[in-house]
Amino acid sequence: MTDGDRDHVADRDDGSEPVPTGSDPLATLREVFADVDEPVDELRDRAREAALNEAGR
């Protein structure tokens, strides 16, 4: 890791994993989600519904 690089610890089903974000985390997110065509509202709604289902509601 170089100066300015950072990692984010992502919780996965099979454990935790460090995800490098580099010195520009927004650029990293843009790169990772470049192929996502859904609007943010739809993604958020699906994530909320999945979380509620997982919580048993």
> What values do phi and psi take at 18, rounded to 5?
-75, 135
CB 45 within 8 A of CB 53: no
Structure confidence at residue 48 (pLDDT) = 93
Which of 26, 10, 6, 30 has the alpha carbon at shortest distance from 18? 10
Q: pTM for the full model?
A: 0.45
Structure confidence at residue 52 (pLDDT) = 94
Residues paired with residue 10 on neighbouring β-strands, in sequence order: 17
pLDDT digits (tens, 9 = 90+) for 1-57: 444 566 767 776 667 777 777 788 788 778 878 888 889 899 899 999 999 999 987
The 3-state DSSP class for residue 19 equals strand
Structure confidence at residue 2 (pLDDT) = 47
Structure confidence at residue 53 (pLDDT) = 93
